[in-house]
Amino acid sequence: MIRYFSDKQLFILETQSSTYAFALNDHDAPMSVYYGAKLFSPEDLELIGADKMDGYRFREYTKMFKYRHEYSTYERGVYDEEALKIRYSDGVSDVDLVYDCHEIKGNTLLLTLKDEVYSLKVVLTYEVFENFDMIKRYATIINNGNKLSIEKCLSATFYLPNGNYISNTFAGNWAKEFTKVTTEITEGKVVYETRRGVTSGPHFVPFVSITDKQNPATENRGSVYFASLAYSGNFKTVLEKNHAGTVKIAMGINDFDTVFSLDKNESFTTPDVYIGYVDGGYNKMSEKLYDLQFDYLCPRGNIDKPFPIIYNSWYPYLFDVNEEKLLALIPKIKEIGAELFVIDDGWFTNRVDDRRALGDWQACKKRFPNGLGIISDKAHEAGLLFGLWVEPEMINEDSELYALHPDWVLKYETRPMSKMRTQMVLDITKPEVYEFCKNMLDRVITEYKLDYLKWDMNRYIAETGKDSDFFVKYTQALWGLYKHIRYTYPTLLIENCAHGGARSDYGMMPYSDRINRSDNSDPVDVLKLHEGFSTYILPRYAGGAGNVATSPNGQNGRVTPLKFRAHLGMTGSMSVGFDLLTAKKEDIEGIKEYIKYYKTIRPMLHSSYLYRLSSVLDNGVAVWQYTARDRSKAVVFIFAHGVRWGEGLDNIKLVGLKPHARYEINGKTYSGDTLMKYGHNIRKPGGDYYSEIIEVTEIK
């Protein structure tokens, strides 16, 4: 709900658990008043002290640092992190924003601010999602005067009550993505950002949570602030505490190497940022973030259906794919019960390794004499869905495309081209390159009758210097291509791959149905990766070429039992990635049985909340409770690795059940209340690679 109290010029935005308030000061500038636990009588709030003063006129030196500008700008005497920095045509680099007007439309507030000297307006949009305990914010900069430059334009700044806080986000490197990073917000700034043109995975992710230092939240208890930026390019999260104790969070497009200009009557709108507050720990926060994705962000139509079980050619065969092998696989895939056959990298002309051919998107005549159509048809005849891997943004120097269009590549004529994985980036901001990619996507999707497309991206962006707003234009072009295929082929399932989850951001959620969480398929490492990934992304999105992959594992040689891999595969989007043509009979029979069982719990798993009850990092036992959104069922996964000193768990307290309902576990019944307060006895997980699944079903 949004309320405006005109006597105090006070705006109150309320969600189920939070109150967010700001008011106009004596100079009509909007200043933050409060953000936190929901207040009974928010109308009591008012601006006090420095924030209320007409700071702009008097500039009282000792109080200026206490200002909490709702959308803070770079201006005379304000030195904290700003959201907006503009250089006007006369060289003035100072924006003084005051109230112009506002409009409340249902759950949306549009607050228009103006610079009284220059013809600039800024519209701040606040959309309140009461049930999700979140507010979506973004800003639109409208220039009605001479051409100006935007040197920085974040989506929002917001403030926490003065205090001591710690923040959590995720980072890592390739194959070690989504590792928790915990930092104290001391005086100064903590900056999480990427400058690589992609958002996440092997780098910091555009998501952060913040909790009180003295009374920190746990998974199931305590208050947490959080913010998630819907952007798929360079971003910046700044957590700042100044010497007056003001704690500010700023988030948006990274200003690194980025300046845009706006001509007269042009405008720019920032990406959305979702900011939230919950009291109930990190599991409650994840629950709200899942609700946002289930009910708002993810592709309508697809998100309501369970994701099909994939068989992917990558781990078993890498680039060594051909017609004979793939046709021979079809009955095997059918036999084990997988539902979607994906040909990964290696299917196109000359693509025998990762050094050549990107850009030449024609089926290799030598290895596929009849094209890919025959494989698609045979897969469909067998009742399987059919999918294909592409990497549209990329090109190899050793390709026909490069010979034809060397000027399509991002490069500097005076420098050697930067190559990562021997490949270069196509400049999709050029209309002709954009068209080429769009036509290629249309052609492969229609010609091969694709049900699924895996869009990969295996390097970072560099050599962007020709345009100062290149990074932003690149992301817009990328979204344009994704949008095109999403809306032209609404039932096509799209995997947003980008090697190790490098585009795991809310900007991609409307276009993708699955994310490659990591290239690391070792189940022990996945126990850690999944905790981080699933904190802010739906667990059903957790993909990869094969999360039931080969053993010994391709990355680290670890040998693990099929049961452990299969159980873990059920916790995300299952994909089988071991060689079915040479597999032992017992492995074929084994995976068949696991898939058969998985299908019985999948509808619930794919529309559930994941509560992390125990972390493998703490005691060697991971316990993950998947819980139906209506709380009528839960499936608890237990995985052990590295248990020492006889430690481990023998009792687990479930969460999120209906206290008064009765649930059945292995033939015995318990009340939800007992299971949550006393817990459920489990057999002490013994030995490495122990795994178990417990079904908890409401008796109606």
Answer for the pair 633, 697: CB distance below 8 angstroms, yes or no. yes
Q: Which is nearer to ligand DGJ, 65 or 174 (CB)?
A: 174
Q: Which is nearer to ligand DGJ, 514 or 540 (CB)?
A: 514
344 binds ligand DGJ (CB under 6 A): yes
541 binds ligand DGJ (CB under 6 A): no
Q: Which is nearer to ligand DGJ, 554 or 656 (CB)?
A: 554
Answer for the pair 260, 269: CB distance below 8 angstroms, yes or no. no
- For the bound state, the minimum distance from the C-beta of residue 450 to ligand DGJ, rounded and expressed in Å, comes to 15
d(CA 499, CA 458): 5
Q: Which is nearer to ligand DGJ, 499 or 602 (CB)?
A: 499
Q: Which is nearer to ligand DGJ, 530 or 633 (CB)?
A: 530
525: how many CB neighbours lie within 10 A of its CB? Answer: 18
- For the bound state, the minimum distance from the C-beta of residue 210 to ligand DGJ, rounded and expressed in Å, comes to 31
d(CA 499, CA 200): 11
Phi–psi pair at 262, nearest 5 degrees:
-120, 120
699: how many CB neighbours lie within 10 A of its CB? Answer: 9
d(CA 376, CA 341): 9
d(CA 126, CA 129): 10
Answer for the pair 499, 544: CB distance below 8 angstroms, yes or no. no
- For the bound state, the minimum distance from the C-beta of residue 517 to ligand DGJ, rounded and expressed in Å, comes to 10
Answer for which of 345, 360, 393, 495 binds ligand DGJ (CB under 6 A) is: 345
Q: Write out the binding residues for ligand DGJ, residues 388-447 only, by CB under 6 A.
A: 389
Identity of residue 201: G
516 binds ligand DGJ (CB under 6 A): yes
Q: Which is nearer to ligand DGJ, 231 or 389 (CB)?
A: 389
Answer for which of 291, 456, 469, 522 binds ligand DGJ (CB under 6 A) is: 456
Q: Which residues of 166-195 are buried (b: 16+ CB within 10 A; e: fewer)?
A: bbbbbbbeebbbbeebeeebeeeebebbbb
Cα angle, residue 521 at apex, residues 518 and 525 outer, rounded to 5°: 85
- For the bound state, the minimum distance from the C-beta of residue 456 to ligand DGJ, rounded and expressed in Å, comes to 5
Q: Which is nearer to ligand DGJ, 290 or 314 (CB)?
A: 314
- For the bound state, the minimum distance from the C-beta of residue 318 to ligand DGJ, rounded and expressed in Å, comes to 8
314 binds ligand DGJ (CB under 6 A): yes
Pairing of strands 575-577, 310-312: parallel
- For the bound state, the minimum distance from the C-beta of residue 194 to ligand DGJ, rounded and expressed in Å, comes to 18
- For the bound state, the minimum distance from the C-beta of residue 361 to ligand DGJ, rounded and expressed in Å, comes to 14
Q: Which is nearer to ligand DGJ, 516 or 608 (CB)?
A: 516
Answer for the pair 479, 507: CB distance below 8 angstroms, yes or no. yes
- For the bound state, the minimum distance from the C-beta of residue 535 to ligand DGJ, rounded and expressed in Å, comes to 21
138 binds ligand DGJ (CB under 6 A): no
Q: Which is nearer to ligand DGJ, 313 or 551 (CB)?
A: 313
Q: Which is nearer to ligand DGJ, 190 or 457 (CB)?
A: 457
483: how many CB neighbours lie within 10 A of its CB? Answer: 12
- For the four alpha carbons of 196, 197, 202 and 206, in that order, the dihedral sign comes to positive
Answer for which of 262, 372, 401, 545 binds ligand DGJ (CB under 6 A) is: 545
Identity of residue 436: F
- For the bound state, the minimum distance from the C-beta of residue 312 to ligand DGJ, rounded and expressed in Å, comes to 7
Q: Write out the binding residues for ligand DGJ, residues 364-393 only, by CB under 6 A.
A: 389
Residues 199, 201, 207, 211, Cα dihedral to 10°: -150
Q: Where are the beta strands (DSSP E) in 52-175?
A: 84-87, 97-105, 108-115, 120-129, 134-143, 148-160, 165-173
Q: Which is nearer to ligand DGJ, 134 or 441 (CB)?
A: 441
Identity of residue 84: L
Answer for the pair 123, 140: CB distance below 8 angstroms, yes or no. yes
d(CA 50, CA 196): 39
Identity of residue 519: D
d(CA 11, CA 14): 10
Q: How far apart are the first and last CA of the chain?
A: 35
Structure tokens at 5: 């109290």
- For the bound state, the minimum distance from the C-beta of residue 575 to ligand DGJ, rounded and expressed in Å, comes to 10
Phi–psi pair at 316, nearest 5 degrees:
-70, -35
Question: What distance lies between CA 598 and its chain's CA centroid?
Answer: 25
Q: Write out the binding residues for ligand DGJ, residues 18-77 only, by CB under 6 A.
A: none
Tell me: cis bond preceding 416? Omega within 30 of 0 counts.
no
- For the bound state, the minimum distance from the C-beta of residue 346 to ligand DGJ, rounded and expressed in Å, comes to 8
Q: Which is nearer to ligand DGJ, 367 or 612 (CB)?
A: 367
Cα angle, residue 582 at apex, residues 580 and 585 outer, rounded to 5°: 80
Answer for which of 14, 115, 519, 531 binds ligand DGJ (CB under 6 A) is: 519
Q: Which is nearer to ligand DGJ, 316 or 672 (CB)?
A: 316
Q: Which is nearer to ligand DGJ, 319 or 597 (CB)?
A: 319
Q: Write out the binding residues for ligand DGJ, residues 602-641 only, by CB under 6 A.
A: none
- For the bound state, the minimum distance from the C-beta of residue 519 to ligand DGJ, rounded and expressed in Å, comes to 5
Size of the site for ligand DGJ (CB under 6 A): 11
Q: Which is nearer to ligand DGJ, 19 or 312 (CB)?
A: 312
Q: Where are the beta strands (DSSP E) in 513-593?
A: 514-516, 542-543, 548-549, 575-577
List, in order, residues 6 or more apart from 630 with CB less than 8 Å away: none
- For the bound state, the minimum distance from the C-beta of residue 537 to ligand DGJ, rounded and expressed in Å, comes to 16
- For the bound state, the minimum distance from the C-beta of residue 612 to ligand DGJ, rounded and expressed in Å, comes to 25
Q: Which is nearer to ligand DGJ, 179 or 422 (CB)?
A: 422
- For the bound state, the minimum distance from the C-beta of residue 317 to ligand DGJ, rounded and expressed in Å, comes to 11
Q: Which is nearer to ligand DGJ, 359 or 620 (CB)?
A: 359
337: how many CB neighbours lie within 10 A of its CB? Answer: 17
- For the four alpha carbons of 194, 198, 202 and 206, in that order, the dihedral sign comes to positive
d(CA 610, CA 286): 8
- For the bound state, the minimum distance from the C-beta of residue 175 to ligand DGJ, rounded and expressed in Å, comes to 10
Answer for which of 477, 497, 515, 580 binds ligand DGJ (CB under 6 A) is: 497
Answer for the pair 540, 276: CB distance below 8 angstroms, yes or no. no
- For the bound state, the minimum distance from the C-beta of residue 367 to ligand DGJ, rounded and expressed in Å, comes to 16
Q: Which is nearer to ligand DGJ, 271 or 554 (CB)?
A: 554
- For the bound state, the minimum distance from the C-beta of residue 518 to ligand DGJ, rounded and expressed in Å, comes to 8
Residue-wise DSSP of 647-684:
-S-SEE---S--TTSEEEETTEEEEHHHHHHT-EE-PP
List residues near ligand DGJ by CB under 6 A: 314, 344-345, 389, 456, 458, 497, 499, 516, 519, 545
